[in-house]
Chain A
């Protein structure tokens, strides 16, 4: 790696619904993250935001709208679409070139001003062949879940366990939208949305304006005593048509392998202390754990049964409650970075895990059955 980049501060405004308008919400989070390290807007080097027009309350060219409220007036800023971990990586790159010593990464998605998530994901389809049949992300996930259960004998109960765990973890997270103590039966008996998915195994539509402040090594040491270092990143995109893909052999393996290579990780199960994963559908946490190399292929069910991924387990997965608890579509990847950072710094409050966390993984995915994945590794 050509140099080091650190996360020096994080902030978020997330949850079910905020009474603040988008503009103010963005300003508050931007100000908060800068204030945390005593940086002014004038000091700030560059800004990379993440947002998507389809998830932007009916305003196109999303970053036109929030430009100045995210501190970007007369600055060199840019924007990534769809996945906020893209913006995180772009910010890292901008610092590594030496052009900037600080970068604000901010992701903006105000769920309460958007239609239902799947009204938006329907627009990913091509207008000729798949839109007419109503294919959307939840339907694609249902296909994937069915295949997962049939090919590897994963049970519905094992999938539901993810929701039980994550919604319980969310009790400790003040930014969580959904939270509570539920049984496997509660999860399985909730409304069947698209078979085999039940309502409580599907992430809600939430708000999330999430910010991460990055700095070069030298600047980071000046700004904070607790820098969290960027260690590795990888992403990968899959083919478009579901029929062209094996839904259980996707691109997360590729993305993870790239991130591990950059971070010098050879045994992720041992070397990663905590993972924050994007699991908009409960079973996906099991599948993604396999693809991330935390357990063997087809063993995601046994993996959750073993208790390893519980908050007090050996490799806690989504101690924040994950995306099942809070799902601001575009922002969720960066929110995983924020949660992982808080854990690494010992600042996660009630959701802080009991073990020592030195290396953490943040994962983001968007698209049908995980068409695109991004993985970031950060460490203390």
Chain B
């Protein structure tokens, strides 16, 4: 449907606590790197999509104004996509639809966040409305811990096994981050370290949680005719897009089998013609700010049956050398500049199928899934990319 669209280049900042640059310069770093990497320049671009999480996290509203020059978007058509935590993947979707509709040939997508300039959890608390939910939904960990508990209780999962599996995810992702030059948190941790770390909201402990990162990501999308015109052969074709959202009030939806996650993946699989994701995908960049939640995603995305994830995690099915490696970049767990994070997932998936992921390359990866989630446990978005059209 529509015209084929490919990702032809990626630019990322060195994510972390970037007190050396102001927010526009952080954005500029990603955009300049993208242009350096692709050899293209802003004159070639038909339009720009940008986005962030609640823009008030850093105290600047409608940030496309502030970053017009940093994104080299002055004089360009612009769209501004925001869908809370899933913003990054939604930006990628916007770029995809823009080109696929025939309205453009080259679109720059930019996601950004400079979380160390604000208080992310205070901002996130304001996502909940002030009358009923705000008093008990304090930031992200509260919601996601409740969800993890709901899931493990639903399937009668043994607490210790779930704890071990989550710790295993933490250890392996932290190890992977060492192979990603752009990752924020680079520390070696042991299973014991994770299991004895400070409790944030039970059962989530400090090493089960992502950091606050400063970072930006720029991704260049092109039409098939532009790919041909530029004579490119290593590109990542967009094979599937999916997105679903559910109710605002936390108690209104079943979070143990997360319908929006199931539905978003299904929509993307249908478009990509994928029936057995564990076999047909070579790598997945799952949005995993919390280790426990990552296992739920494996199940909702059909990587395994419901309630099966902890066993498979402990068997290494989703490790770097496993059957379906997940988050070889270290994932959101090690790097989370929220408005950029989903786009980083898509960028990492693209790098994998282009064979450009460097030290964290999964050998021979041809099809990759990227994912982001957001809202008050509400939204899930997927983009699947592949090396072949």
- Given that A54-B55, A93-B98 are known contacts, is A237 also in contact with B75, CB under 8 Å in the complex? yes
CA distance A35 to B67 in the complex (A): 41
Is B14 in contact with chain A by the CB < 8 A criterion?
no
Cross-interface CB contact of B248 among A67, A80, A366, cutoff 8 Å: A67
Contacts A/B (CB < 8 Å), 15 sampled? A1-B102, A2-B3, A60-B54, A63-B84, A64-B378, A75-B244, A76-B242, A86-B80, A93-B97, A94-B97, A96-B2, A234-B77, A235-B78, A236-B75, A237-B74
Q: Which chain A positions have C-beta within 8 A of B248?
A: 64-68
**Shortest CB–CB separation between residue B62 and chain A, in angstroms?**
5
Given contacts A78-B83, A94-B101, A123-B61, 19 further A-B contacts (CB under 8 A): A61-B375, A67-B246, A68-B246, A74-B246, A74-B260, A76-B242, A79-B90, A81-B51, A81-B64, A83-B80, A92-B101, A99-B97, A123-B59, A125-B60, A126-B60, A237-B48, A237-B74, A240-B69, A368-B65
CA distance A237 to B102 in the complex (A): 21
Is B243 in contact with chain A by the CB < 8 A criterion?
yes
**Within A235-259, which residues are at the interface with B (CB < 8 Å)?**
235-241, 244, 251, 254-255, 258
**Shortest CB–CB separation between residue B82 and chain A, in angstroms?**
5
CA distance A239 to B94 in the complex (A): 23
| Smallest Cβ-Cβ distance to B82: which chain A residue | A81
Is A120 in contact with chain B by the CB < 8 A criterion?
yes
CA distance A254 to B84 in the complex (A): 31
- Given that A68-B248, A73-B247, A237-B78 are known contacts, is A54 also in contact with B62, CB under 8 Å in the complex? yes
Is A82 in contact with chain B by the CB < 8 A criterion?
yes
Residue of B56, B264, B378 with highest tally of chain A CB at under 10 A? B378
Q: Which of B125-133, B148-156, B280-288, B326-334 contacts A (4 or more CB under 8 A)?
A: B125-133
Q: Which chain A positions have C-beta within 8 A of B55?
A: 53-54, 81
Q: Are A98 and B1 in contact (CB under 8 A)?
A: yes
Q: Are B97 and A97 in contact (CB under 8 A)?
A: yes
Number of interface residues of B (CB under 8 A): 66
Q: Which chain A positions have C-beta within 8 A of B374?
A: 61, 64
Instruction: Provide the A350-380 mask, 1 if CB < 8 A to any CB of B, else 0.
Output: 0000000000000000111001100000000
**Shortest CB–CB separation between residue B178 and chain A, in angstroms?**
33
Is B302 in contact with chain A by the CB < 8 A criterion?
no
Is A283 in contact with chain B by the CB < 8 A criterion?
no
**Within B18-61, which residues are at the interface with A (CB < 8 Å)?**
22, 24, 48, 51, 53-56, 59-61
Range, interface on chain A: 35 or more
Spell out A's residues near B (CB within 8 Å): 1-2, 52-54, 58-68, 72-83, 86, 89-90, 92-94, 96-99, 120, 123-128, 234-241, 244, 251, 254-255, 258, 366-368, 371-372
Q: Which chain B positions have C-beta within 8 A of A125?
A: 60
Is B306 in contact with chain A by the CB < 8 A criterion?
no
CA distance A78 to B65 in the complex (A): 20
| Smallest Cβ-Cβ distance to A76: which chain B residue | B243
Cross-interface CB contact of B126 among A59, A127, A372, cutoff 8 Å: A59
Q: Which chain A positions have C-beta within 8 A of B68?
A: 237-240, 371
Residue of A53, A54, A235, A366 with highest tally of chain B CB at under 10 A? A53
Q: Which chain A positions have C-beta within 8 A of B48?
A: 237
- Given that A60-B127, A236-B75 are known contacts, is A93 also in contact with B244, CB under 8 Å in the complex? no
